[in-house]
Amino acid sequence: MKAMTDVLEGGFVAKNHYVVIHPIYDQHEEKVDIAKLGPMKMTPGVRLALMSLRGYLLVMVGMLAYRFIDMAGVLDYFKG
């Protein structure tokens, strides 16, 4: 991003043009160290949404497993 601001401050770009700088030629930015962040705090709404998503995924995986078992004929063995 610094390279783009240097180009724009140079004054040799018209106001109605865009400057595109490839990331290879741009200045590198400092990355966030994930190990230093710690756990994320969740609101009750977020916790409820994630638990409902987990439940939905478990139900869908269960339905998929039931369908595979049914197509394989395993349930016919138990029916008689």
Q: How confident is the model at residue 18 (pLDDT cuts 50, 70, 90)?
A: confident
Amino acid at 74: V
Flag whether pLDDT at 12 surpasses 60.
Answer: no
> CA 11, 5, 2: angle at the middle one, nearest 5?
145
Q: Which of 6-15, 21-30, 35-44, 68-77 has the lowest mean pLDDT?
A: 6-15
The CA distance from 49 to 70, in Å, is 31
Flag whether pLDDT at 9 surpasses 80.
Answer: no
Q: Is the pTM of this model over 0.85?
A: no
Question: Could you read off the pLDDT of 28-74 as tens digits, one per residue?
Answer: 888 888 888 888 899 999 999 999 999 999 999 999 999 999 999 88
12 or 80: which carries more pLDDT confidence? 80
DSSP string, 14-66: -TT------TTTSPPPPPP-GGGT-PPP--HHHHHHHHHHHHHHHHHHHHHHH
